[in-house]
Amino acid sequence: MRFWWVNQNKTFNQETAGGYLWSPKRNTNGARNPFYEFMREVTPGDLVLSFQGTYIRAIGVVKSHAYECPKPSEFGDAGPNWSAIGWRVDVSYEALENQIRPADHIDHLRHLLPKKYSPLLADGRGLQSIYLTRVPPILMEKLIALIGSEVSHLIKSGSQATEHKIPGVGLAQWEEQIRRVIENDQSISATEREQIVLARRGQGRFKENVRRFEDRCRITGVDRIEHLRASHIKPWRDCEDYGSRLDGENGLLLTPSMDHLFDRGFISFTGDGRLLVSPVAHSESLRTL
């Protein structure tokens, strides 16, 4: 279990009510942002301290790994320059009865703040430039002592969460919304609508189109077509038009477990086909798969 700090001044109500964290993938200039990159390191069972208006308002138990998801519509005017597609992590929040103000205790916390990526300034104020950052265990212990006993059952809940992981809720909702739009689009034939929806699961015409370029899983070597799935390189949910959802050049043949890893960003490939493994992938699970 790891501990995280999230500054939610603009989006506290939306994220805690909706049960998630959401961030853009990069800064508006395209540069990497470490506080957005941390989203990909969060793991089910981790605990998140929710900071808003100078107080720690809630604690959340992480329920999913990060996955791609559109900017929540309920954000409204918040973050007008944020990208349309970002990272989402599902979180089960619980509001704290004892909502502490770190600035009131900064004399006891200051020496515990990390030198890099600290969630607080030396006077106890929050940093507006930070979204998500780590909380060192020694700092978390002190904060737990200040909050009190209501945190203990959340820690127990977090330790058990890895046994009951749930898939990305927002991801499923996103894909279902797209599916409904396609099925109601009368500008294309019923047959075409059916094939576009089948492509979501790597089947139908899309799979046949991919077979023109691939004849086996490039990781496992399995070449029996009934054991293979056509996996979109640019995800089905991200394709701007119907044609790219059926384009064979936008696909790879993979076994279902490899398709899962590829779709969720745990593995990828270089331009010449070499395998890339994400640093946040669980190595023991990869070896087993």
Q: What is the pLDDT of residue 168?
A: 56
What is each CA distance from 117 to 5, 28, 107, 161, 242, in whole angstroms?
A: 10, 20, 19, 26, 42
Q: Which domains does the chain have, with CATH numbers?
A: 3-161 (3.10.590.10), 185-288 (no CATH)
User: What tokens does 229 get?
Assistant: 């799935």
Least confident of 98-112, 155-169, 171-185: 155-169
Banded pLDDT at 158 (limits 50, 70, 90): low
How confident is the model at residue 163, as a pLDDT?
42
Give just the sign of the alpha carbon dihedral 260, 264, 267, 273.
Answer: positive
Cα first-last separation, the chain: 23
H or E, element range at 57 = strand 55-62
Under DSSP, the state recorded for 111 is: G
Provide the 8-state DSSP code for 72. P
Q: Where are the alpha helices (DSSP H) in 77-168?
A: 106-109, 137-147, 152-161
| Residues 196-235 pLDDT 10s | 877 777 778 889 999 999 999 999 999 999 999 999 888 8
Pairing label, strands 251-254, 267-269: unpaired
Average pLDDT, the chain: 85
User: Does residue 180 surpass a pLDDT of 50?
Assistant: yes
Per cent of the chain over pLDDT 70 is 91
Residues 281, 278: Cα–Cα separation, whole Å:
5
Q: With pLDDT > 90 as the criterion, what percentage of the chain qualifies?
A: 41
The confidence band for 182, taking pLDDT boundaries of 50, 70 and 90, is confident
pTM of the model: 0.61
Mean pLDDT of 18-30: 89
- Mean pLDDT, residues 77-81 taken together: 78
What distance in Å separates the CA atoms of residue 171 and residue 72, rounded to the nearest whole number?
A: 12
Lookup: tokens for 212: 């023109």
Torsion of CA 240, 242, 248, 252, to 10 degrees: 60
Token representation of residue 127: 């940093």
- The CA-atom distances, in angstroms, between 31 and each of 10, 24, 26, 80, 237 are 22, 11, 6, 17, 24
The one-letter amino acid code at 190 reads A
Q: Is the pLDDT of residue 174 over 80?
A: no
**pLDDT beyond 80 at 170:** no
- CA gap 248, 236 in Å, rounded: 12
pLDDT tens-place string over residues 243-270: 888 899 999 999 999 998 888 778 888 8
Of 140-144, 149-153, 171-175, 190-194, which gets the smallest average pLDDT? 171-175
Please say if the pLDDT value at position 172 is more than 70. Answer: no
d(CA 192, CA 161): 41
